[in-house]
Structure 1
Amino acid sequence: MSENERILKNEAAAFSKAARVKYFNIVIESGKGATVTDADGKTYIDLLASASATNTGHSHPHVVKAVQDQAAKLLQYTPAYFANDNAAKLAPRLAALAPFSGPAALAWGNSGSDANDAIIKFSRAYTGRPYVVSFTGAYHGSTYGSISVSSVSLNMSRKIGPLLPDVVKVPFPDPWKRLDGESEEAFVDRMFAAFKLPFETYLPAEEVAVILIEPIQGDGGIVKTPDAYMHKIYDFAKEHGILFAVDEVNQGMGRTGKWWSIEHFGIEPDLMSVGKSIASGLPLSAVIGRQDIMNSLGAPANVYTTAGNPVTTAAAMATLDVIEDEHLLERSTRLGKKAAAFFAQEKQQFKFIGDARMYGLDGGIDIVDPETGQPDPDATTKIIYRAFELGVIMISLKTNVLRFQPPLVITDEQLQSAFDILHQTFSELAAGKLSLPDNADEIGW
C-alpha cells in the first residue's frame, strides 16, 4: 500500500463525503512555486493553484517569512474587539486597489463564502430592499447565504433547503446557450430579455437590493460575461437603484492579468468579494465596497472571531508585495497568450477540443464529441486522469471543461513541460489508447 493510500484509508472513516469533490487519490505533502509533491514523493506541475487560491505559488519565501515572523509575535487576538497592526495596514492598502473611484471600505471574513454573505447583508441594509439576483452556473460559496445564490451543482441545494428567501436566479449568458448561426448581438439581446423577464412578471425592481455576478464565471466553466450583456445589466441596475456586486474570489488578485476581472469591462461595481489568493491561500477574505454602503450596518452585524487575524493579514501584505514586485499581472498576461496559442494549435489538430477560452493564465477548454459537438465527460475524465499519471494536476468543471489556472509564478519551462504532457495526453486519446479509471463515476462535480 502506498503512503497516499494509507493516509486516505485512515482518513476515510472520519471524513464526510460532502467535504471533498473527488478527483485523484493523492495526499499533498508539500509545494514550491508551481509544483506540488504527494505523500509518495511524486512531484506534479500544478495547473490548479489550489482552486486559484495560490496565485503567488506554493510556499513563496516572502509569504512564508511574513507568516513565520508574525506567528512568533502573536498568533491570534480577535479583531472583533481590537485591531492588530497587520490588518490595520492592510485595510487601506487593499481598499486603494479596489476598482472604485470614490472612497472604499472593507470588512474581513474567513472565506469567500462569508464575503458573499456580507454582500447580501450590506446590500439589504443600504437599500432597505429584500431581493437578491444572481445567475445560473454561479459558485459563490457554501455558507447558507452564498450557497443560496449559487447554482453550479444540484448538491448545493439537494437535501439542505429551505435556502435563503428572496433570491432570484436568472440565466447566465454562457456560450453553450448560443444558437447555431446566432450573432453575438442577437445572443446578448436574447439573454438580456431572459434577464428582464422576472422584473416584468413578478419581481418589482424597486424591491431588489443587489445583482451579484462573477464577471468571469469560475466553476461554471471559466466563462467571461459578454461585454455588451454586462453593460446592459449594469445600466439596468443603475436605472433602478439596485446595487451592482461582483464576486472576485476566484478571478481576482491578478488571475486574469488585471487585479480584478471586472476591470476588463470598464465598470465600477458597488461591492465586491475577495478571498482565496488574497493571503496566498490562508483563510482570509474581504467584502469591499463604497464607503457609504459599508457603513450602513453596525457591529456586530459582520464580525468573526478570526477574520482579519494577525497571521493571515501578514500573509496578505506579503502577497500584495509579491504580486507587485514580481509583476504577476504582466506575467499572467504574457503567459496567458502562450497558453491561448498552445490550445488554439491543439484545437486545430484534435477535433475533440471545442471552445478554448483564455483570460490571462485563466482558461476553460471544452472537450466534446467530434461527431456531435456535445460535451464528452468520459473523454474529459480520461484526459485529466492521464495527465495526472504523467505529472500534471488539472481538473474538470461542468463535466467536460478542463480547468487551467496555474500559479502566476509558473516558469516558462514548467509551462512548456505541462503543454508537452497535455499534447501527449491528447495524442493518446486521439489514438484510442486511454481508458477510464475504475472510479470514473466518482470523479468531478
Structure 2
Amino acid sequence: MEEKKSNQQMLAAEEEAFSSAARIKYYDIVIDKGRGAIITDVEGHDYIDLLASASSTNTGHAHPKVVKAIADQAARLIQYTPAYFANSQAARLAPRLAALAPISGPVEVAWGNSGSDANDAIIKFARAATGRQYIVSFTGAYHGSTYGSMTISSVTLNMSRKMGPLLPGVVKVPFPSPWDKLAGESDDQFVDRMYKAFLQPFETYLPAEEVAAIVIEPIQGDGGIIKVPQAYMERIYAFAKQNGILFAIDEVNQGMGRTGKWWSIQHFPGIEPDLMSVGKSLASGMPLSAVVGRKGIMEALGPAANVYTTAGNPVTAAAANATLDVIEEEHLVERSAKLGQKAKDFFDQEQAKYDFVGDARLYGLNGGISIVDPATGKGDVEATTKLMYRIFELGAIIISLRGNILRFQPPLVITEEQLDKAFAIIDQAFAELAAGKLSLPSNAEELGWE
C-alpha cells in the first residue's frame, strides 16, 4: 500500500518537476477529492470552495450525473478524433449549445480544448469572415494563454514579458473600470470620457474599415468581476454595427449560469453578439470549449482551419451534455440569481460594518469584493492577502484578483447551510482584520497574480 503523504511532501516532490510558470501560487495544499461545494486535501482537511475551480465547476465537484455520464461514455469510447469523424455525444451537444446561444438566426459551433483556443478561434473566424486584420480588446482582460488569446489579454505583465513578439494586429483600449472614475464625475460623464478613449485609436491610426472584431468580457472576470456600464456597451456595440465590425464576447468565466443568467451578455438588453467563446464549466471542468457564432461567420473557414485532435471527444461531450441537463433540471441559473441576492445582501452588510470594504459587485453567485485602505480609498493588497489567508485557515477557499479584490465564485450547487457557514467565516476574518489581529503569511510576496 502506498504511503500517505502530506501536502508539503507532495508539493516538494512536485516542485522538482513542475514549472513555476504553470501555477499562480496561493495555498500549500494538494487537492485530493471534492463533492458539491466541498474540496478535501490529501491530509483530509475539508474546505468550502468559494472559487469553483476558477468558475469551471458551476455544477459542483463530482456531480453524480456528470460522473455517471463520464464513466458510462468511457466504457463505450474514450476517444476518436472529431477532426475526422463525428461522435454521438458531440453530435447531440452541438445543436443544444447552438440553441442556447444568445444569437438570433442560424448558429454553429466549433470545438476546442480550453477557453484560450476558443478565443483564438474568434480571431480566426472574425478575420476570415471580414477580410480584415485588426482585433480590438480591452485592458484588464483575461482571454487565455495561447498566443492569440494571450495577445488580446492584459491582466498581468507576465503574460507578455519575455515572450514577444505577440500576435500582430491587436489594439487594446481602456476598459471602463470603476476605479478610473474621477472624483465628482457622474456616470454619464464617465461613460463619455471612456468612450472618447475608445474612439481615439479609430480617429488617429486605426481605420475602422480594417477592424475585424471587438472582443470584450461583458463582465470582466480576472480583471475584478466588473460589469461594463450599459451605456458604454451600447455605444461600442453601435459603433461596431455602423462600421461592419463583428462584436465578440468572452463567456468562458461568466457563462453557464454563473451570473444568474445563462450568459453574462444577457444582462445587456438589446446587445447580441456575432461570436462568443465558451469553456470552463461547459463540461463541468473537463477540457472542452467552443466558439459559437452566426452561421455565415462560422462557414468563412474551410476544413482543418480549426480542428484539434481531442476537442469535442466523446467523454468531454458526454460531460457537457450531462452538465446542461444538471443546470436545467436543478434550475442552477435561477439558483445563482436567488443565492446571488443573498450573497449581495451579506456583502452589503459587511460593507456597512467595515470601512475597508470599498465595493462589493455581485452578479449572481459571482462577485468581486474590493478591499481598500480606509484613509485613502486605494486598494489594500496587504489587507486582502491577510483576509484571504485567514479565510483559508478558517476552512474556505477564496483568492484575490488585482491584488486587492476577493474573488467570490462558489459552485452553483452550494447549499444555503454551506453558504451561511462561508459567510460566518468571512465575517470572522473581517472582524479580526478590523481588530488588528491578522498578520501576513511568511510567503505573502509569492501569493496571487502579479
* Bucket of the pairwise TM-score, normalised by the shorter protein: over 0.9
* Residue number in structure 2 paired with 1:330: 334
Distance 1:244 1:134 in 2: 11
Which one of 307, 311, 315 corresponds to residue 303 of structure 1? 307
State whether structure 2 residue 56 is matched by structure 1 residue 34: no
Distance 1:106 1:240 in 2: 25
SS of residue matched to 1:212: strand
* Alignment deviations for residues 39-80 of structure 1 (CA, whole Å, 9 cap, x no partner): 110000000000000000000000000000000000100000
Which one of 228, 232, 244 corresponds to residue 231 of structure 2? 228
* Residue number in structure 2 paired with 1:367: 371
* CA drift at 1:96: 0.2
* CA drift at 1:440: 0.1
Which one of 92, 100, 117 corresponds to residue 97 of structure 1? 100
Q: Pairwise CA RMSD of aligned residues?
A: 0.7
* Alignment deviations for residues 116-150 of structure 1 (CA, whole Å, 9 cap, x no partner): 00000000000000000000000000000000000
Distance 1:297 1:197 in 2: 32
* Alignment deviations for residues 373-423 of structure 1 (CA, whole Å, 9 cap, x no partner): 111000000000000000010000000000000000000000000000000
* Residue number in structure 2 paired with 1:216: 219
State whether structure 2 residue 267 is matched by structure 1 residue 264: yes
Distance 1:2 1:90 in 2: 40
TM-score, normalised to structure 1, is 1.00
* Alignment deviations for residues 268-325 of structure 1 (CA, whole Å, 9 cap, x no partner): 1000000000000000000000001000000100000000010000000000000000
* CA drift at 1:261: 0.2
Q: How does 1:81-230 map to 2 (within 5 A)?
A: 81-230=84-233
Distance 2:367 2:447 in 1: 20
SS of residue matched to 1:209: strand
Q: How does 1:266-305 map to 2 (within 5 A)?
A: 266=269, 267-305=271-309
* CA drift at 1:181: 1.1
TM-score, normalised to structure 2, is 0.98
* Residue number in structure 1 paired with 2:69: 66
* Residue number in structure 2 paired with 1:319: 323
SS of residue matched to 2:247: strand
* Residue number in structure 2 paired with 1:9: 12
* Alignment deviations for residues 314-354 of structure 1 (CA, whole Å, 9 cap, x no partner): 00000000000000011000000010000000111110000
State whether structure 2 residue 49 is matched by structure 1 residue 46: yes
| Amino-acid identity (%) | 72
Which one of 392, 402, 413 corresponds to residue 409 of structure 1? 413
* Alignment deviations for residues 411-440 of structure 1 (CA, whole Å, 9 cap, x no partner): 000000000000000000000100000100
* CA drift at 1:101: 1.3
State whether structure 2 residue 387 is matched by structure 1 residue 379: no
Q: Which amino acid aligns with 1:253?
A: M
* Residue number in structure 2 paired with 1:344: 348
Distance 1:400 1:43 in 2: 26
Which one of 434, 437, 444 corresponds to residue 433 of structure 1? 437
Distance 1:437 1:402 in 2: 17
The alignment covers a number of residue pairs equal to 445
SS of residue matched to 1:146: helix
Distance 2:6 2:79 in 1: 34
Which one of 11, 25, 28 corresponds to residue 25 of structure 1? 28
Distance 1:293 1:319 in 2: 27
SS of residue matched to 1:249: coil
SS of residue matched to 2:429: helix
* CA drift at 1:2: 6.5
Distance 1:178 1:362 in 2: 23
Distance 2:367 2:396 in 1: 16
